[in-house]
Structure 1
């Protein structure tokens, strides 16, 4: 998932997994958050929080109302100097926010962590209010004046990509006091409902054979080889979601309405336009992607799940069998050290520099791997700030998919390390390209393992898992995007009931999964646990964008002569300084070309072809 700057104190390491499986996994690492601050009550944290307030107020007093004048100056009184000070503040505030957030995500059920996170958020929101003038005032400077300023002043010229990017927001910018109100109310509005969602999800327990399990462990059972275990897990998920559905319905209705209000005030035409703007991608490019994927449903997911049903000896799959392992799949638990070696060796074969950067995550305490109660579910790579280093969160349970998740998040981490040289203002990559390095890291790891596999049955199991992962990344995420579009569109007409949201969910799931999967009672609530719908509306298409892009990129790599790695590292190092069209041009790729998405989807289809051929081989 694309990270955000709100994940803070190192907690005592708890058992990674249930006692009986811990020895098989080996020693799992936990974060070394001391690299940010020794603790939430440390002198260092208190000092930086006080410094942030002092420097923020001083910056406001120095520059507010004076940027038009600064555009005509150079040196310490010029725009370049102001931008340098603003970037230093952004890094400091980001460090504080990252520490508070990472502490909270370490155990979201810990009330002390929740209070710390909430208090820091409140303080930083207040300080951000004193900085809000800067971008608004910059955007009021005439284009010709700003261009002349950047040409004349090298310090301002350094930030040209950021300034040009910022000015794309200009048509949707509101009057200063309204922007101030939106910012200050965000903590008691959208921010509060985001936190309610997180803490509710972390506290949920699902009863399996008399044992109360958290979400991550229960979802993991959907990959169990025993069909009865999968069925029981699915029913437990459905039962608990249903018991708590009123909270999820309230959160969804509130946030959809909150977004609608914001979009209306800002003048966005389409419900996803604000996301496209933040991603720096054109609406027609996303529409072309979504249309291409939807048209490919029959050739991809429908076809694959029909094959899988046959392999499992079923006419149709139950919805809880979607990610079931094949009979050929190994049920071996993969120790952490083996997962580490697998990913680093795959990275190293592509480029030693890539493996060296990823190795720092293992050696430096930059990874939190144990699955434990209260910890954030899923996985992410958090960039923190350029003056520090990223952190990766996974919930490692020893499944093959966990190894691929590790490869994915380390791809993000490598990207964040390389882009960090651009500085706090220009290191952030738009979401559409932020998934490039992560999906590419997965592909490198998969191909390395596949090349080493000679046994036909093992190869079939590996190919099937990869196809499923790609379907989950492309088909499932575009279905999620379509579901969000339906929900946000329907919300404009009034508050939505659980039944209405469930119907919308089932409609897109049936369309995307196809007739080979039987969707029965209980599945109508499974939209409730998807965090992207809450934290980042319309984020999900970035996964499909990244997967299709990487499929095309990987095809170029397989055919390329020497020099591909250098161009690839230049892409990652660019951070947010270049548009996707400029970054892809050296590889001969163009996301605005309608055939671009077809090329990416054809790779998934070719893997299904290979699976079918293996199935026919005696």
Structure 2
């Protein structure tokens, strides 16, 4: 019998699931608080004078309270929809929360206008006072970004229209994915696979399974391509129209601002990666030789080498992760152990679940929840460690003001990937034999290939897609051509078969909250490599420094964060080269172990 449950506990927040009476009452309170905030902002704006310190302080307090409530509600509805894609009430609740969020966002645009009206000198002095000092950076960021947007009335209209327009296309895509099924012949028996279950089987060690399933996978997404293309074109069109009216000429302006990083940092990172792909191409070719193939197909890239990749039951994965976290940070290990014991993780492999994995926070309760589908693979162990890294990041920030907790995706991916590295390196060191060691090293390299090649392909695709979309709708055939071309460029022509419908199958392209949901992953991977190198040098002394770094992630740019805590300049190639070198070291070890 399993020690840890594979099904999470959501009743601790609001008992009764999507029919929860307590959640209904919570939403009513939230509606009231959003409206009270809106009225308070309108009253301050209608006073005809620059808002004084007391008015701003009162509005900030209301804003932060509503922010926490919205995060709590959104997390609950998201968890319900993910665990059961047939829960229509959960979808309705998510729509109601989305509407509330739009009303709140509309009020925030007017609040930002109040901040804009404060003279620069008075504003600088205000940020030095309590209660503003602890949230000075995010407040100043709001004021600065507001100056680059449209008038409050126009921004409010955009937010209102986005609910059933922009964000509606994301929901339409999710609905379509919820109906996605592949009928697959498994050992002579026909099974119906959801998108998440099928994606897991694409990593099967049995190539016959991968070949047959990938053919079905491509066909299924081709059958759904018209719907996916509609969603992708419409949400991109919405973004481009908003950017045009704001006078923004770069589609990267918003994602870079959200991730608090400069375009120079982004370009330097990709340049260093692109210059260092040769070892990874060699790895892909060596792997093809080991499989007896002329070149790898898309579905072979993540396939394990050999048959030594043992299954890892959930309980064993839990013990392994806690033990390996403890070698670096007792605090992190204690947190992970608590997450397993208190049923913070939904990992059961069953039909009806949404594909992928995520971690979401309930800031009022001070807890997080992790969602994934666990199938006893090494990749699943890595995903579990990854999401626990996210959860620990939020955990160390729970006592901070709501605005100071709002860190960007790229630094969020830093904490998660750092957690993966701890587990992966320790697992390699504890391997019982050569075959297991090789399999674990190869699993690490697969993640490097994902961040350096797969994610790069997504970035190249979206960059070109948005340029084409400016000229009009981009058809299914064009999207497939763009996707395959991006994959060929990112993988340096190393594969023999690509995944032209990847743009349809990857839900990240349809997330409206963060445009260009790709490069932050690679940033986080390499940034965490730099942090990991410091942790290895400093040992236990780095635990508290790491927590300090995480607590600063919502209060400065990534360039400032790196300078303050690591003493490095992210706009120069040196840091990125050192991080890539760590990944190349794994490749060199693999090549040495597999040479004939």
Aligned match of 2:64 in 87, 106, 109? 87
Q: Tell whether the 8 Å contact from 1:419 to 1:428 is kept in structure 2 after alignment.
A: no
More displaced 10-residue stretch of structure 1: 420-429 or 252-261: 420-429
Quick check: 1:104 aligned with 2:99?
A: no
Give runs of aligned pairs for residues 244-259 of structure 1, distance below 5 A.
244-259=224-239
CA shift, 1:72, in A, is: 6.7
CA shift, 1:378, in A, is: 0.7
Give runs of aligned pairs for residues 2-17 of structure 1, distance below 5 A.
none
Q: 1:192 to 1:422 in 2, by over 3 A?
A: same
Aligned match of 2:303 in 324, 334, 340? 324
Partner of 2:142: 166
Quick check: 1:235 aligned with 2:215?
A: yes
CA shift, 1:441, in A, is: 0.3
CA shift, 1:164, in A, is: 1.8
Instruction: Report the 3-state secondary structure (helix = DSSP H, G, I; strand = E; otherwise coil) of the residue aligned with 1:382.
Output: strand
CA shift, 1:117, in A, is: 2.3
Q: Deviations over 1:342-361 (max 9, x none)?
A: 11111111111111112221
Give runs of aligned pairs for residues 452-467 of structure 1, distance below 5 A.
452-467=430-445
User: For the residues of structure 2 that align with 1:508 and 1:499, how far apart are their CA atoms?
Assistant: 14
Aligned match of 1:440 in 392, 409, 418? 418
Q: Deviations over 1:105-139 (max 9, x none)?
A: 22122223222322333344335434442123223
Partner of 1:202: 178
Q: Deviations over 1:506-557 (max 9, x none)?
A: 111112223442126xx32122111111103312101111111122222222
Q: Which runs of 5+ in 1 are unaligned?
A: 1-22
Partner of 1:114: 91
Aligned match of 1:32 in 9, 20, 24? 9
Q: How many residues align?
A: 587
Instruction: Report the 3-state secondary structure (helix = DSSP H, G, I; strand = E; otherwise coil) of the residue aligned with 2:359.
Output: strand
Partner of 2:154: 178
User: For the residues of structure 1 that align with 2:225 and 2:312, how far apart are their CA atoms?
Assistant: 35
Compute the RMSD of aligned alpha carbons: 2.1
Give runs of aligned pairs for residues 582-593 of structure 1, distance below 5 A.
582-585=560-563, 586-593=565-572
CA shift, 1:228, in A, is: 1.1
User: For the residues of structure 1 that align with 2:51 and 2:110, how far apart are their CA atoms?
Assistant: 19
Quick check: 1:482 aligned with 2:456?
A: no
Q: Tell whether the 8 Å contact from 2:41 to 2:110 is kept in structure 1 after alignment.
A: no
Q: 1:597 to 1:69 in 2, by over 3 A?
A: farther
Q: Deviations over 1:471-492 (max 9, x none)?
A: 1123211221111101111111
Give runs of aligned pairs for residues 336-347 of structure 1, distance below 5 A.
336-347=314-325
More displaced 10-residue stretch of structure 1: 491-500 or 118-127: 118-127
Aligned match of 1:415 in 370, 393, 397? 393
User: For the residues of structure 2 that align with 1:155 and 1:69, how far apart are their CA atoms?
Assistant: 25
Q: Tell whether the 8 Å contact from 1:436 to 1:546 is kept in structure 2 after alignment.
A: yes
Quick check: 1:140 aligned with 2:114?
A: no
More displaced 10-residue stretch of structure 1: 470-479 or 163-172: 163-172
Partner of 1:534: 510
Instruction: Report the 3-state secondary structure (helix = DSSP H, G, I; strand = E; otherwise coil) of the residue aligned with 1:583.
Output: helix
User: For the residues of structure 1 that align with 2:101 and 2:432, how far apart are their CA atoms?
Assistant: 55
Give runs of aligned pairs for residues 280-429 of structure 1, distance below 5 A.
280-300=260-280, 302-330=281-309, 332-429=310-407
Partner of 2:584: 605
Partner of 1:11: none
Partner of 1:616: 595
CA shift, 1:165, in A, is: 2.0
User: For the residues of structure 2 that align with 1:26 and 1:329, how far apart are their CA atoms?
Assistant: 26
User: For the residues of structure 1 that align with 2:104 and 2:542, how far apart are their CA atoms?
Assistant: 44
Partner of 1:226: 206
TM-score (ref. length: structure 2): 0.94
User: For the residues of structure 1 that align with 2:432 and 2:537, how far apart are their CA atoms?
Assistant: 23
Instruction: Report the 3-state secondary structure (helix = DSSP H, G, I; strand = E; otherwise coil) of the residue aligned with 2:183.
Output: strand
Q: 1:562 to 1:373 in 2, by over 3 A?
A: closer
User: For the residues of structure 2 that align with 1:230 and 1:57, how far apart are their CA atoms?
Assistant: 53
